[in-house]
């Protein structure tokens, strides 16, 4: 069952069904919603950042653990890849599984500023 409501907010962690790069097969992947609630109400897409259990570019990633969540659960310590930002269609969303605490979202935004040289 897909959840395609317009209730997604910045900081929500959602599960997507994403195709592999070669478009053969799909994988379930957690992502962090970056776009604002205002944009999410009027857009058919969400802006998200990849979440992974592996770290690749530490200077551009934010570690998150279960204590960083306002709601929901994480299976293990993970990393928000602030350098892997993309737009996703709502029909790929399977469900919401959590929400980052405000303080951790501030940290994510600070790293995104660094990614785009905005600081």
Per-residue pLDDT of the chain (119 residues; tens, 9 = 90+): 344 454 899 999 999 987 776 778 788 999 999 999 999 999 999 999 999 999 999 999 999 999 999 999 888 999 999 999 999 998 889 999 999 999 999 999 999 999 999 97
Q: Does the 12-115 domain belong in CATH 2.60.40.10? A: no
Domain boundaries of the chain, sorted by first residue: 12-115
* 93 vs 72: CA distance, rounded Å: 16
Output the six-digit token pair for 95.
Answer: 């469900």
What is the signed CA dihedral for 73, 90, 62, 69, rounded to 10 degrees?
Answer: -30
Q: Kindly state the DSSP code that residue 7 receives in the 8-state scheme.
A: -
Q: What H or E segment, with its residue span, contains residue 108?
A: helix 102-115
Helix, strand or coil for residue 100? strand
Would the pTM of this model clear 0.85, i.e. be above it?
Answer: yes
Instruction: Report yes or no: 20 and 92 within 8 Å, Cβ to Cβ.
Output: no
């Amino acid at each position: 069952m897909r959840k395609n409501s317009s209730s997604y907010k910045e900081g929500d962690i959602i599960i997507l069904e994403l195709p592999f790069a070669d478009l053969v097969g799909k994988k379930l992947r957690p992502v962090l919603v970056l776009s604002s609630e205002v944009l999410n109400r009027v857009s058919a897409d969400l802006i998200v950042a990849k979440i992974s259990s592996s770290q690749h570019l530490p200077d551009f990633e934010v570690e998150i653990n279960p204590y960083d969540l306002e709601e929901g659960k994480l299976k293990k310590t993970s990393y928000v890849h602030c350098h892997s930002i993309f737009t996703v269609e709502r029909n790929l969303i399977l469900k919401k599984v959590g929400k980052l605490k405000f303080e951790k979202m501030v940290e994510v935004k600070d790293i995104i500023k660094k990614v785009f040289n905005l600081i």
